[in-house]
Amino acid sequence: MPNLLIIEDDAAFCQMLQKFLTKRGYEVETSFTVPDAKQKIESKAYDLILTDLRLPDYDGIQLLTDIKSVNPSTQVIVMTGYAEVGSAVNAMKKGAFDYISKPFTPDEIVMVLDNALKVPATPNEEDGPREDSADGVATKAKPALTADKGGKVVKGISEASKKLDDYIKLVAPTDMSVLITGESGTGKEVTARAIHDNSNRRDFNFVAVDCGAIPKELATSEFFGHIKGSFTGAVEDKIGNFEAANKGTLFLDEVGNLSYENQIQLLRALQERKIKRVGSTKEIEVDVRIITATNEDLTDAVEKGSFREDLYHRLNEFSIEIPSLEDRFEDLILFAENFLAKANANLGKNVQGFSKEVWEAFQLYRWPGNLRELQNVIKRAVLLTVGDEVEVSALPKEVLQPQEKVSVADGFSKSEFEKERIIKALKKTNFNKSKAAKLLQVTRKTLYNKINHYNLDL
């Protein structure tokens, strides 16, 4: 039976939670004050601690740090108000497994607690969020924080991100060829690196090739290498991408841009697992795992005859579609904090966070460029910021006025955009208004008011 400590100064609410969770199989203790909670934490190791961030006469973030210093393996879930975005993010940085916004439903708290029990805690949970390039998916006990080294990715808390992480873990240990699809800027290369880093080939090279940037005439040499004097400009021997990735992983981005002739050469190399350098008659055996990516519909290209069907099936032994940022909106805070940390490191800055107005702008914007656009916007904003927080004045015009851009392009008003977001959030949560409000980063009362204002028939 998992043991749980609830730290909450609202005695009635705390006792209600205790009664409910006891019925659900938890061994529950309660503390209404911080001194009592600290005494219990020092005398007993808890599997889980559920604590409010707003406590009288004590900083909730400091209490989280105190808990982790006593027992780093204890999973901590913090309770926050809907508007306390910054507090929730700080809690994640300090090692909280997750946060849950008040008011919450019984099912929501049970789901969060059960998830925390499934994930083994690590002693270094205070590592902050970082990330590599325009990406998405992390490795850690907490639901989203990552390192920007070694191709690790941010593991979000949204259902779309969890599904993506499950697919990566499922296919990584195999040698199956993987086709990664998704909109531009969603983090296809980072996903490919995550597959490599979780595979048996992790100790060998990961070689990334942008097929769209290679002229057709040079593709053969790039893939397979050449020997000195084999053509004009071949002043020395050169190994190709296949040899460089031997025993490792070869990632071919925008594979749909390859010419038909190059597709034939690629197919032959994959079938025979042998290559020849340009100008050489010697066959070289290669052991390479192939991961490819595209933001276009290759099945459509196959139907049109511009992409070989046999090559398509060879590359598509397992497919992964990267969700857009709009489809994992719950992860926006986590990605933004990751990019803030990386921008600080790259620019030598120490910006601590984002103003409330910036968060509101981020949540209203559609992010058509996905994570790459979010990263670029944040890096630019950090460069322009002179204080501790990013202010709206540092954001580009298109992020601040998304409704004008959409209205001009599609005849789509701000109210229509807001209605669409509400309906989409409700559908994603199976019309659970509490969860939809959390997804939209508003209170339940605000959501009900919006539903009534727009006369939505739900």
As a whole number of angstroms, the distance between CA 304 and CA 360 comes to: 44
Q: Are residues 32 and 101 in the same domain?
A: yes
Side chain identity, residue 42: E
Position 25 in a domain:
yes
- Global pTM value: 0.62
Residues 151/194, Cβ–Cβ less than 8 Å: yes
Q: Are residues 84 and 168 in the same domain?
A: no
Radius of gyration of the chain from its Cα atoms, rounded to whole angstroms: 25
As a whole number of angstroms, the distance between CA 196 and CA 393 comes to: 40
Q: Are residues 359 and 290 in the same domain?
A: no
Domain CATH for 447? 1.10.8.60
Residues with pLDDT less than 50, the chain? 82-83, 121-152, 403-412
Q: Are residues 183 and 317 in the same domain?
A: yes
| Alpha carbon 82 to its chain's center | 22
Which residue in the block uniquely carries the two structure tokens 């727009």? 454
Q: How far apart are the first and last CA of the chain?
A: 40
As a whole number of angstroms, the distance between CA 177 and CA 313 comes to: 9
From 306, 321, 336, the end of a domain falls on 321
From 269, 299, 321, the end of a domain falls on 321
From 267, 288, 321, the end of a domain falls on 321
Domain CATH for 51? 3.40.50.2300
Q: Are residues 344 and 303 in the same domain?
A: no
Q: Are residues 167 and 70 in the same domain?
A: no
pLDDT value for 411: 47
Q: Are residues 113 and 10 in the same domain?
A: yes
pLDDT in tens, 90-134: 777 678 887 787 777 777 788 888 888 876 544 444 344 333 333
Position 381 in a domain:
yes
Position 128 in a domain:
no
Q: Are residues 283 and 346 in the same domain?
A: no
Quote the number of domains for the chain: 3
pLDDT value for 153: 58
Domain CATH for 173? 3.40.50.300
Position 125 in a domain:
no
**Structural domain harbouring 430:** 326-453
Q: Are residues 389 and 289 in the same domain?
A: no
Residues 107/124, Cβ–Cβ less than 8 Å: no
